[in-house]
Structure formats: C-alpha cells, structure tokens
Structure 1
C-alpha cells in the first residue's frame, strides 16, 4: 500500500558496501566519453571528407543524408530514454548494463561506415550504403550507449560535488579523444603529392576506422568494469503499470522550465557552430593553409588551451558563478574569432596564437556545460518536487541531436554553396577564401548569439543556484 502511494522513491537510496566514490569512478566516466568519441568525433571530423573526397559524393547530398538521419537520431534518443527509464535494474545497476550491451554494436557499425572499396560502386549504391550505415550507427547504436552513459552520472553518486567532478572528467575525456583523433588521424589519412597538394589515401580511412572502433570498444568495457552505481531508484508497481506519457506530453511538461529552454537554445547554437566547424576544419587546412598535418598542432593548441582553462574554471565558478564566468569565456571566444575574420591571417603561427586564446575562452564555457544541466535538474526538482534527471537528459539530448543535424547538414550545404568541387585537387582562389570565411565568421556570429541567450534568458546565476540548493536541502531534510 505504501508502494502504491509512492510514485517513485528517488530520494531514498542505499550506499553499496563495496567502496566509496573516488578516482576509479572518475576514470571510468572519462573512458565512457573517450569511447563514445572514438566514433562520434571521428565521424564528425572526417566522414564528410571521406564521402566527398574518397567516394566522390556531392557535399549537398551528404549534408542531406546527415541531416535526415540526425533528425531520426533525435527521436530515438527520447525513445531510448523511455526504454531505460522503464527497464528493471539488474545486479549490475540500471544504466551500466546498457554500456556493455551496446559496446560491440557501436564498434561494428562504426567500422562499417569506412569501407573504402565501395568507391567503385555506382553513385546510387554508394549513397544508399552511407545512408544505411550512418543511420544504424547514429540513430540506434550510438544512441543506445550514449543515453544510458549520460544518465549514469546521477546514480554513481548522490553528492553534487561528485557529480560536478564527473562532468569535469567527462569533458577531459572528450578533450583526450579530440587530441588523439585530430592529431593521429591526419598523419595517416593524408599524403602530399608532387605539386605539394594535400590528397587523401582512401584505404587508410578503413584501417583507421577499424582501429578507432576497437579502441572505442576497449574504452566502453573499461567504463563498465570500473564504475559502480550507488544510488538505488525504486519504481513502484503503480508507476510501472501507469500509462506511458507521450513524447509531446513530455515536451509540454518541461517547456515551462525557463532554464531548460534557455540551455537547450544555447546548446543547440553551440553545437551548430562546433559541429559545422569540425566538419569543415579539414578543408581549412587542406585548401587554405595547404598543410593538412598542421591540423594536428592546431588540435594540440586547442586542447592545451581548454585543458588549461579547467585549472582555474572551477575556482572562478565557486566565487563568481558558472553563468557569470561562462559568459566571460564566451565573450573572449567571440572576440578572437571576429578578429581572425578581419585579419584574414595566412601565417599559421598567428592562427595558432589567436585560436589558443579562443580555446581558453570556449574551454571555460565548456567546462560548465554538463554542470549547467545539473543545475537545471535541481531547478526542475524545486519547481515540481520531483527528480526527472533521465527525462530532462533525454529532452536535452534530443535538441543536441537537432543541433548536430542542422550543423552536419549545413556543413555539406555550405561546401556546395561556396562552389567547392569535391573531385578537384585544387580549388579556385575565390573558393579558398570562402572556406576561410565559413570556418571563422559563422562560428563567431553563433557564439555571439549564444552569449546573448545566456546573458538575458538563462536565469540560473550564482544567486539563484545558491537559493535553489538551500531550498532543496531544506526540503530533503524535512522529508526525512
């Protein structure tokens, strides 16, 4: 009877008598993002290049495939969130088993996308192959592992400070993956012809794709084996048998959360900028700087800047607030990109220097990206009296995928719009200048828009976050 009167015992948990939260859990969570990005970042950075330069598919066609598949992916995110929410926990926990279950499918589906021998197929067959493998990888396999992974932070520890440290290690995992992928991959994927032009080596895409798939599998297995779920969520029989809320019902229930809506808008814009830039960065170095291997050092510079920002970002946030410090970082990133556009640099060292400053600014904002979501979950609990972490994460992930869909598709469309010829070894001077423009100016303007959204619509400044924390603490103490 008590169970029938209790929808969900979220605030009641038991600590497993194994070991306390510690470095092992942080490393496990880092490996989880590392494993995800061995496919996600590699796809984001090089699949457009593979499709246009190896397979000879028009950039606009590739953009259409990416966009349509990403919209499918966005809806499967919400579906996966509902599946995980309603599934009965096992001895291994509620979320960890999905990481084990999906680790092999995502590795296999990622490797299949990079088969160079299909370049000799008909254009229709090549387009169909890329469309099918990309949808299977992104809409099902990647979604199947990313949603449980992202939700798992809430059950590894009930402590806010522990969850904040998991967010930091997740960001560091992404940085490590970016460093490994964007430094190592160009060394193997590109070669220099007799005229000094950067050309792709088709068969190496397959080799690197398989190697990264294996490394991603290892990382996911480490994430599973090293992590522990400590928070136990008991679902009552009444809730388990209750009618499932529709997708649009979920949207309606969350749209009143101003903090969530603002964060979704800002995150969508950031993903449009970062995903499109990732897709087009190779063209900047191949065609504008004519030095594909310089991309490795650019990645190192950017990673060093973002990693360096993590040293003082946490202390600044504790003193001034995450929103306040994050906006300063966004302003710095915006100014450097606008400066790069008007300077139109041709000296790679100058480019590195300004992008280092840009990396510090954007790194400060990025370090808080997942912590913002935690604050939003607290804000949702304060308003509704219910902890909906998985639902909030699923809706948030949905719009992240929409942003990625817009950006990935936009990358291909932009290439077609500026007149980029995929089969040409050398582009015209006009097209080369346009490649520079779209890599620098578009993200700069988007960062400016994100800054305005965060400044004027995101309500969770330091004062509000502190008030929410105190109210929730008092509410939980009174409930005991």
Structure 2
C-alpha cells in the first residue's frame, strides 16, 4: 500500500528526473553494445560476424536463468531505509560500468583468435547476463513503488524514454563523429578511440545511476514475497498470462526492428554511403523526433485512444516507411536519413508507452492472481528484451555473413548493395510484426486497462 505519511513527500519532478537518469545510465552501456559491439569485433578484433551474433544469442540462454533469478531475489528482498529497489542501483552501478568498458579493449586486437573470442564471451556475459541484469531488474520494477497512481507511472514511462533518447543522442551522434577515421579513402572504425569512448561512457553511467539513486523516492511499501517458491506453479502462471506473452512477443519484435535500424546504421552509412556524418545526423534527427514529437504526445494520445491502439498504428506506419525506402533506394545519404526519421516516429510512440504497458501487465496479473510480483514479471519481460537484442544482433551477423561481408569485402559494390537492402528489410519486417502481435496476442486494450485500475483501487480501499 502507499504510505501517504512518508517523509519522501509527494511525487514530483525530482522523481521523474531521477528515473530518467536511471535509463540514461542503462543506455550508456546498452546502446553502445547494440550499436557498436558487432562492428567493433568484426572490424577491429577480426572476429566473424556470425560468431559475434552467435554469442549474443547464446548469452540469452544464460539470461533465462539470471533474469528470473534476479526477479525472485528482488521480490523476496525486504525494504530498507532507502526502499526495496533503489539499493541495488547503488550496489551494482560500478560492476556494470567496468565490465562494459572491458568489452572494448582494442589492445587485444593482435592476440590469438581463440583468446579474443574467449575475452568477448567472458566480458559480454559478465556485463549483460550478470551485472546489467542485477541493476536493470530492480530499476524497472521500481516504477510501481515510486507511485501507485497510473498517471504518475505513465509519466515515469515518458521520462524513462526521454532518458533513453538523451543517451541515444550522446552515443548515436557523438560516437560516429569520434570513433571513425578515414584510411585510404575509406571510413573505418578506430579501435583505440572506441576503447576511450567506452571508458568515458562507463563513467557517465555511474554518475547517472547515482543521480537516480539520490533523486528517486519509493513511496509504495512493497513487502517481501514470503510465499514458498514453486517453480511449476510459477511457470504455469507465466505461461498462462496472455497479456505478458503478448507484450513479450511485441517487445522481441520491437527490438528486432529498432536495433536492426541502429545496428545496420554502423554499416549502411560508412559502407554504402561512405558518410559517418550522416550516421550522426540520423541519430540526432531520430532522437529529436523522440523528444519533440513522441515524448510530448504519447501520453495524450494513449490516454485518448489507448496504449495498445496507438502502438499498433504507429508501428504499422514505421514498417510502411521502410518499404517505401527500399523501393525508392535513395542515393543521397540524407534522404535515407529522412526515411529513417519518419520510421522512428512510428516505433517511437510504442517505445515511449511500453514501460507503462508492462505496469498494466503487472496490474492485470495482480487482478487475476491476487499477488503483486513486480520483479518476477519485469524480469521475464527484461529477458524478452534481451532476447530481442540478441536475435537482432544474431540476425544482422548472420545475414552480413550471407552477403559475404568481411573486413576485406566491406566496400565491394555487391556487398554494400546488400547492406542497403538489409537496412530496410529488417526493420520493416520487425515493425510490421509488432503491429500484428499487438493486434492478435495482446489483450489489454484501453477498456480492459481502465477496468483493472478500478478493481485494484477498490481492493486497496478495503485493505
């Protein structure tokens, strides 16, 4: 229940800013990984794109255990003077930042191939499956403890997206400008520069996490779940939760589309268009679209039409934009940037409200089961997002290998044309599939969400 006499005071701007900084910290390492790790290990370390993609997919089997385990740890932990979820952010911000930095060690580029694969596997697993999980699960679950008001949670979702967008601006715009250099007339990634950039971003992540810890206040007392863990019943409950399965499917497909856009940017701009500045411009314009259009309008449009309804239409629009781009095949990189930005409007609305949608799923489970399991449900959802990230990276790595991409063939005309085609086809398929998944699989339309909120309010009054 919500503690109205809490010294934390009423929900306000400090909470929204703090929650924004939390996702800013997450994305200092997450966006760097999704946008540049594949490029770093193929071009700098000389590892096959297929091998890197295979690692990213294989790591998700580890996450299947670590994410749900962390969710159970969070649900069963007792609240402290700082709250139930916040302490984890302070504990784990150092390890997640350090392991992210260790991934991008260009000084090992001349080491044996087996050693480089070993280093990549160990550092990536430690960063993504262990330490990132141990901070991201409590952070995402914390939204329910900051306020019990659905409107406040929707605002937290918006501010979380703003944090991710600002991180995208810093990483997406700044990194290409600093990380690339021209060698023999070709735009190539610099290993030493990437190592420095990763170190700077790791320090930035720690600062953002600490700001989140000090600004956010937990007002809703979430007691430890002391029920005996019965794995069979837990799995049955999760498998039978249609709203959770629907949002999981949509999240995987969203990441396939969104990270497909971001991941292929590292190839289509420098290799097909020969323009690293255009890659920075696409990140800049895409993130400005999120800040200027999606963030201000998402809450209003979802309140009027429903989060599910808004997301279906916007993702279908984004898929259509990329199909048109594929047919037009623009030769000017900045025309391609225009298509990229329009498509970002489509995925941006869904990406803005999706965090509020997961709290709707948690509410729906509580209505049906009578138990609040923020950590467990969020951990399953987090695993789905990681799976989407892995599938995207794995798919990109596999199809790049299929079209014959290697450091030696990176600028061959046949290969670069294949890169352009993939940069349109992957996000078009991903975003189109999101719209279909939401329509057929996700049951929480506007009416159902409002009914669940009313039911939980009545229960809390009686309690």
Q: Does 1:281 align with 2:265?
A: yes
Aligned twin of 2:86? 96
Q: Please list every run of at least 4 consecutive aligned residues from structure 1 whose deviation after the TM superposition is greater than 6 angstroms.
A: none
Q: TM-score, normalised by structure 2?
A: 0.96
For 1:72-471, what aligned pairs fall within 5 Å after superposition?
Answer: 72-195=62-185, 197-235=186-224, 240=226, 242-246=227-231, 248-307=232-291, 308-424=293-409, 426-471=410-455
Write out per-residue CA displacement over residues 436-466 of structure 1, whole angstroms, 9 at most, x where no aligned residue: 1111112102211111121222222222222
Aligned-partner Cα distance in 1 for 2:194–2:340? 28
CA distance in 2: counterparts of 1:108 and 1:382, whole angstroms: 41
Contact persistence 2:290–2:348 (CA under 8 A): yes
Gaps of 5+ in 2: none
Partners of 1:48 and 1:303 lie apart in 2 by: 22
Report if aligned partners of 2:88, 2:135 keep a CA contact under 8 Å in 1. Answer: yes
Deviations 1:246-266, CA, capped at 9 Å, x for gaps: 2x5322112222211111111
Q: Which has the larger radius of gyration?
A: 1
Distance in 1, matches of 2:109 and 2:198, equals: 16
RMSD, aligned CA? 1.6
Q: Give the C-alpha shift of residue 336 in structure 1.
A: 0.3
TM-score by length of 1: 0.93
CA distance in 1, matches of 2:23, 2:229: 30
Tell me how far apart the structure 1 counterparts of residues 74 and 368 of structure 2 sit (CA, whole Å): 24
Indicate the SS of the match to 1:234: coil
Matched-pair contact (CA < 8 Å) for 1:52–1:423: no
Query: Corresponding residue for 1:51?
Result: 41
In structure 2, do the counterparts of structure 1 residues 348 and 155 end up closer, same or farther at CA, with 3 Å as the change threshold? same
d(CA) in 1 for partners of 2:154 and 2:243? Answer: 18
- CA distance in structure 2 between the partners assigned to 1:234 and 1:226 by the alignment: 22
Pick from 13, 29, 42: which aligns with 1:23? 13
Q: Which residue of 2 aligns with 1:8?
A: none
Q: Kindly tell me: are residues 411 and 15 of structure 1, through their superposed partners in 2, closer, same or farther at Cα, counting changes over 3 Å?
A: farther
Q: CA deviation at 1:13?
A: 4.1
Where does the alignment leave 5 or more consecutive residues of structure 1 unmatched?
1-10
SS of the counterpart of 1:93? Answer: coil
Instruction: Tell me, yes or no, if the aligned pair for 1:189 and 1:204 is still in contact at 8 Å.
Output: yes
| Structure-2 change in CA distance of 1:152 and 1:15 (3 Å) | farther
8 Å CA contact 1:70, 1:138 repeated in 2: no
Q: Distance in 2 between matches of 1:46 and 1:256?
A: 37
